[in-house]
Structure 1
Amino acid sequence: MTRVFLVEDSPIIRQNLAETLAELANCQVVGCADSETDAKAWLAENEDRWDVAIVDIFLKRGTGLPVLAAMNTRSALQRVVVLSNYASPELRAAALKLGADRVFDKSTDIDALVEFCKSPV
């Protein structure tokens, strides 16, 4: 089972995404954060307890970009994706530069996110 760390400020999206990933991709959400500070604190305490991190850019407090930067020492087996409603070309470039493996649009790419989470490293 793939262990997911989910950084998302909307409780409804967190719940729906956790249920979708569990049902369709054999994933278990092992941690959640809704702010930049909480995400970085969770990562510091759980550096090897996740396989895929899904990070929104606009959070309750702060943004997901510093969260991506905090993951730059992750294992080669850990993957990071951005899931945002604002997946502009500039955001995609910034996220990839900070180490994201992929960037997905919340409104159009959920199926692609599920497939990414199902695929082996």
Structure 2
Amino acid sequence: MGQQQLFLIILVTILVGIATIVAINTMQATRANANYDAIRQTMLDASVKAQGYYMKNDMMGGGGKSFQNISMEIIELEPNNEHGTFSISDIGDDSFTITAIPAAGGDNIVGVVYADSIEFVDP
């Protein structure tokens, strides 16, 4: 083999290696973003159920315009799933907090559920 051919083989090998590293990093970032999106969707689903509980009369098994007796079972939120670990806290009459710790690592996701909305808070 000539020097030119050997140089081209080395150059192509280096370029393929660099492209592989870039692709792996991009895939990891995409996976983390997809996990965050799944966590947010889970929190949105739980907030819709919580808002239904809030609006339902307490004689019918609801909260009667209060979140005071809300629980993970009522909003059908599993404490652990493939996306992360969830918990509720700061339960008041008009709001409560859902905190998620992503399974893939990274910052916690905090959502405050109100009677008519959910607000995601930067950790």
State TM-score, norm by structure 2.
Answer: 0.24
State TM-score, norm by structure 1.
Answer: 0.24
| Structure with more of its chain in helix, by fraction | 2
